[in-house]
């Protein structure tokens, strides 16, 4: 922690950045911190409760954050992949952000619980994560953590769903999605959902209805999954943000599996690796095409 705080203090006092976006202990748990001076920098922490993906705050359209000035961001390996995504898609210039990578051994599924980090208590995405140390960084802090691994509960659930009949899957998803009220928290917290005019907000013409009835709800979740295909870094924020616990991580994970299997693409923190959606190969699999 001292390493991180000292680095933050230095970056701020040198004038290299105007704000360090990191994590702090709030009155009711860990929350994002926007440290603009040394005193605030001393509140920075990093531990297994730091689940938030702070890359969302780098979108220049968040004018209330952007106007603070050039940011440094405390980023776990998955968060760095999101930053790389923003760089890849020219939403951010490399020189406009300082990346403080933190070595990460995983975060808790429930950061408010007082559990120790272990295969059963860690977030599902962490159980199979191979990246404990982010590559795209300006600074790298934190001790190298022990490798804690587990079985992906999502992969098991996806396999279970894949084995069902189409009607059974349809029922499953209609039931899970029925709680959705189109609050759009899933979209707002996602670092890669940065469009000024989301397709779901367009009304002339309207392709995606805004109403939270089953028809509008299905269209929304489908289009979001499609638009994030190959771009989602599996940070888990969408599922965490959903106030009614819709298992969005199953959808994102399934699409990621398809993209990995067909196009050999995995979320990466290398912005020079092109997106699998804007690109193609002449020998892409086409077994489903007559």
Partner 1 sequence: MEKGNFEPRITAFVCNWCTYTGADLAGTSRLQMAPNIRIVRLPCTGRIDPVFVIKAFERGADGVIVSGCHPADCHYTAGNYHARRRFAILRELLIFMGVDPRRMTFSWVSASEGAKWRDVVNETVERVRACGPFEGWRSLGGGLT
Partner 2 sequence: MDAMTISRADLLGLAEDLLGSGIRVVGPAKASRGMVEYRAVAAASELALEGPELPARSLKEFYLPPTEPLFAWKSLAGGKVELMEARMAPPPTVVIGARPCDAAGVEVLDKVMGWDYRDEPYFARREATTIVSIACAGIDSSCFCTSVGLGPDATRGSDLLLVPIEGGYRAEVLTEKGARLVSGHQGRFRPDSGAAQAQEFKQKARAKVAAHAPPDARPLRSWLETHFDHPLWAEVALRCHGCGACAAVCPTCHCFDIVDEPEGVTTGVRRRNWDTCQTARFTVHASGHNPRSDQNSRIRQRVMHKFMIYPKRFNEILCTGCGRCVRACPGGMDLLEVISRVSALAGGAG
Alpha-carbon dihedral angle through residues 219, 220, 221, 225, given to the nearest 10 degrees: 100
Site string for partner 2, 55-84 (x = CB under 8 A): -xx----xxxx--x----------------
**Contact flag: residue 68 with partner 1 (CB under 8 A):** no
Nearest distance, CB of residue 232 and partner 1, angstroms: 12
- If one asks whether residue 173 binds partner 1 (CB under 8 A), the answer comes out as yes
Contact between 247 and partner 2 (CB under 8 A)? Answer: yes
Backbone angles phi, psi at 20, to 5 degrees: -110, 115
- In the 3-class helix/strand/coil scheme, how is 160-187 assigned residue by residue? HHHCCCHHHHHHHHHHHHCCCCCCCHHH
Residues 6+ apart with CB under 8 A from 219: 200, 207, 208, 209
Residue 34 Cβ, how far from partner 2 at the closest point, in Å? 5
Q: How far is the CB of 201 from partner 2 (least distance, A)?
A: 6
107: helix, coil or strand?
Answer: coil
Write out the binding residues for partner 2, residues 26-45 only, by CB under 8 A. 26-32, 34
Binder among 45, 66, 260, 277 for partner 1 (CB under 8 A):
277
Which is nearer to partner 1, 158 or 185 (by Cβ)? Answer: 158
Distance, CA of 141 to CA of 181 (rounded, Å): 40
List Cβ<8 Å contacts ≥24 apart for 57-66: 57/21, 57/32, 58/21, 58/83, 58/86, 58/92, 58/97, 58/191, 59/86, 59/91, 59/191, 59/194, 60/91, 60/92, 61/194, 61/196, 65/19, 65/21, 65/34
Which of 113, 151, 188, 279 touches partner 2 by CB under 8 A? 188
Q: Which of 75, 242, 248, 259 binds partner 2 (CB under 8 A)?
A: 242
Q: Which does 90 bind (CB under 5 to 8 A by kind): partner 1, partner 2, none?
A: none
Contacts of 90 (CB under 8 A, 6+ apart): none
Interatomic CA distance for residues 141 and 256, integer angstroms: 29
- Residues in Cβ contact with 144 at an 8 Å cutoff, skipping those fewer than 6 apart: 103, 132, 133
Q: Are 252 and 187 in contact (CB under 8 A)?
A: no
Nearer to partner 2, 64 or 281 (CB): 64
- In which element (H, E) is residue 100 found? strand 98-102
* Residue 259 binds: one of partner 2, partner 1, none (C-beta under 5 to 8 A by kind): partner 1
Residue 251 touches partner 2, criterion: CB under 8 A: no
Site map (CB under 8 A) of partner 1, residues 180-219, x = contact: -------------------x-------xx--x-xxxxxxx
Nearer to partner 2, 47 or 133 (CB): 47
User: What does 240 interact with, of partner 1, partner 2, none (CB < 5 to 8 A by kind)?
Assistant: partner 2
Binding flag, residue 201, partner 2 (CB under 8 A): yes
- Residues near partner 2 (CB under 8 A) are 26-32, 34, 52, 56-57, 62-65, 68, 175-176, 179, 181-185, 187-189, 201, 209-213, 216, 237, 240-245, 247
């Amino acid at each position: 922690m001292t390493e991180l705080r000292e680095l933050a203090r230095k970056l701020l006092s040198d004038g290299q950045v105007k704000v360090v976006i990191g994590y702090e202990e709030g009155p009711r748990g860990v929350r994002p911190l926007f440290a603009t001076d040394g005193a605030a920098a001393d509140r920075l922490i990093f531990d297994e409760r730091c689940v938030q993906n702070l890359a969302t705050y780098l979108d220049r359209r968040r004018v209330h954050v952007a106007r603070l000035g050039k940011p440094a961001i405390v980023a776990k390996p998955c968060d760095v992949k999101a930053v790389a995504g923003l760089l890849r898609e020219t939403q951010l210039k490399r020189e406009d952000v300082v990346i403080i990578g933190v070595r990460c051994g995983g975060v808790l599924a429930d950061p408010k619980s007082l559990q120790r980090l272990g295969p059963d208590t860690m977030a599902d995405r962490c159980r199979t994560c191979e990246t404990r140390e982010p590559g795209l960084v300006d600074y790298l802090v934190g001790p190298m953590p022990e490798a804690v691994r587990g079985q992906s509960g999502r992969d098991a659930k996806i396999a279970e769903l894949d084995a069902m009949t189409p009607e059974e899957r349809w029922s499953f998803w209609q039931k899970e999605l029925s709680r959705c009220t189109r609050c759009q928290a899933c979209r707002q917290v996602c670092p890669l959902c940065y469009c000024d005019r989301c397709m779901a907000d367009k009304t002339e013409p309207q392709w995606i209805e805004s109403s939270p009835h089953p028809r509008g709800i299905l269209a929304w979740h489908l289009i979001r999954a499609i638009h994030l295909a190959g771009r989602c870094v599996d940070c888990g924020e969408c599922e965490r943000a959903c106030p009614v616990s819709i298992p969005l991580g199953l959808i994102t994970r399934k699409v990621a599996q398809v993209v990995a299997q067909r196009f050999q693409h995995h979320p990466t923190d290398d912005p020079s690796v092109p997106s699998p959606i804007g690109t193609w190969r002449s020998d892409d699999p086409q077994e489903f095409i007559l």
